[in-house]
C-alpha cells in the first residue's frame, strides 16, 4: 500500500486528512469547492491535509482520511466497491450535492418508463452499469449531507465547520 507522511499544524496537532471524490456526475460541486478556496485556502492549508483530491494535485493517496467528501451518484459496481473502500478508510463521509444525496439528476434513468428503459438497456449492458442508479446512502453510511445542484456553498462551509469542531474540539 502507498503511504504518505502525515502533516501537522504549527501547534504540532495532526492536520485533518481530507479526500474529495467524484462519481457519476457533472463535477460542478468540485468547481464550487475550488471557488470557495479563493477565500479559504490560506486557512485551510494550515489545518487540512488534502490527501486525495484530483482537482488539486496529481499525487493522490487513499490510505486513511478524517473526512471524505463525495459528489455524484453510484451507477456501476466498480463505483459501489470504491465507495465502500473510501468508507472503510474515513472517519466521516459527506454526501456533496443532489446526485450524491438523492441520486438525481445523475440517476434520471431510474425514472424512465419501461419502454425507455428497454431502449437504453444495450448501454447498461455495454458499460456493465447497475440496474438502477444509487444515492450514496444506498451503499454506505453517510454522516452529513450538503444538498443543492450544485452544492450550496453556505451549507458546505457549515458542514466543514461542524466536522472540524467534532474532529478537533480543542483547536
Q: Which residues contact 145 (CB under 8 A, 6 or more apart)?
A: 94, 95, 100, 101
- 56 makes contact with ligand SF4 (CB under 6 A): no
Angstrom distance (rounded) from CA 69 to CA 121: 31
Q: At closest approach, how far in Å is the CB of 135 from ligand SF4?
A: 11
- 110 makes contact with ligand SF4 (CB under 6 A): no
- 106 makes contact with ligand SF4 (CB under 6 A): yes
- 19 makes contact with ligand SF4 (CB under 6 A): no
Helix (H) or strand (E) holding 48: strand 48-53
Q: Which residue stretch of 11-19, 39-47, 58-66, 94-102 sits at the interface with ligand SF4 (rule: CB under 6 A)? A: 94-102
Footprint of ligand SF4 (CB under 6 A):
25-26, 28-29, 71-72, 97-99, 105-106, 149-150
Amino acid at each position: 500500500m502507498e503511504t504518505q507522511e502525515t502533516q501537522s499544524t504549527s501547534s504540532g496537532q495532526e492536520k485533518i486528512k481530507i479526500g474529495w471524490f467524484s462519481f457519476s456526475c457533472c463535477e460542478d460541486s468540485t468547481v464550487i469547492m475550488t471557488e470557495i478556496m479563493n477565500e479559504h485556502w490560506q486557512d485551510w492549508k494550515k489545518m487540512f491535509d488534502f490527501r486525495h483530491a484530483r482537482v488539486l494535485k496529481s499525487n493522490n493517496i487513499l490510505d486513511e482520511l478524517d473526512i471524505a467528501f463525495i459528489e455524484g451518484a453510484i451507477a456501476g459496481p466498480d463505483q459501489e466497491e470504491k465507495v465502500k473502500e473510501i468508507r472503510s478508510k474515513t472517519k466521516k463521509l459527506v454526501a456533496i450535492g443532489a446526485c450524491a444525496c438523492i441520486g438525481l439528476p445523475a440517476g434520471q434513468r431510474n425514472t424512465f418508463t419501461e419502454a425507455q428503459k428497454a431502449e437504453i438497456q444495450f448501454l447498461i449492458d455495454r458499460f456493465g452499469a447497475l440496474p438502477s442508479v444509487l444515492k450514496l446512502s444506498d451503499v454506505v453510511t453517510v454522516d452529513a449531507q450538503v444538498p443543492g445542484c450544485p452544492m450550496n456553498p453556505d451549507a458546505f462551509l457549515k458542514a466543514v465547520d461542524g466536522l472540524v469542531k467534532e474532529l478537533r474540539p480543542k483547536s
